[in-house]
Amino acid sequence: MRILALAASPGDAEMCCGGTLARVAATRGAVAICTLGNGNSLGSDLPPRELADTHRAEAEAAAKSLGAELFWFGHSDFSVANDAVTRMQLVEVLRKFRPNALLVPAPVDAHHDLRDVSRLALDAAHLAAAPTARTEQEPLDAPPAVFAYQPRWLEGFTPDTYVDVSDTIDTKQAAIAHLKTLAQWYLTRRGIDIAEAAETVSAYRGLQAGVDFAEAFAAASVAGSSATTRILP
């Protein structure tokens, strides 16, 4: 099993599907996080460039605690887009990591970063298996299965797939603990304790799934991708 989680901003993947990544890693699967935005607007005490560097260092620590590889695009906040350059950059990552499944933010918010990343993921997943889309890496045999997650716990998300993360909730929380700058921003700007919120939502999804803690996803359709068996653990 190889799973790559795509995030528009630092922390999105760790907070929303970190338990799933940790579960796959614990069973000798390969996991990775690909973060597009660099978080240079998520804080106020540092200049944007230093803030982005801080978020990257904390994201690297969080990924390491999950057993995940980190791909960092470093795009400035509010500039993430489904453009040709970024699309082929993601195709190259997909061909290098070669995931069975791609976890992406659901387009449930008015923020264009989330909308564009969702579309970007579907387009890149399809192109990653297209021989005529040329990169340094060889094309995939087939597009990875794509599953959307609820980004930043926003409304408007309806899941159809649950992953039991009862055994890895502590690992997820340990990863979130590394995101100190993001945690301070959420607490100051929105009054949200991200560690508490992540555990509460996981407990709620667990209640829906009949386990202690779970993470929820919605399968997305990708041209050329098909599966008759369950892909996520």
Residues 79-134: tens digit of each pLDDT = 888 999 999 999 999 999 999 999 999 988 767 788 889 899 999 999 999 999 98
Report the interhelical angle of 180-190 vs 194-209 (nearest 10°).
90
Q: Tokens 């614990």 sit at which residue?
A: 26
How many Cα atoms occupy the beta-carbon half-sphere of 202 within 13 Å? 27
Residue 185 φ/ψ, nearest 5 degrees: -65, -45
Two tokens at 105? 């933010």
How many Cα atoms occupy the beta-carbon half-sphere of 91 within 13 Å? 25
Provide the CA 33 distance to its chain's centre, in angstroms. 6
Asked if residue 223 has pLDDT above 70, the reply is no
Q: Beta 30-37 vs 101-105: how paired, if at all?
A: unpaired
- H/E stretch holding 162 reads strand 161-164
pLDDT of residue 225: 55
- In angstroms, rounded to a whole number, what is the distance separating the alpha carbons of residues 204 and 94? 32
- In angstroms, rounded to a whole number, what is the distance separating the alpha carbons of residues 222 and 231? 15
Q: What is the pTM of this model?
A: 0.93
- In angstroms, rounded to a whole number, what is the distance separating the alpha carbons of residues 207 and 156? 19
Q: What percent of the chain has pLDDT over 70?
A: 96
Least Cα distance to 111 among 193, 36, 188 occurs for 36
Task: Give the number of other CB atoms < 10 A from CB of residue 117.
Answer: 27
10 Å CB burial of residue 27 (0-12, 13-18, 19+) is exposed
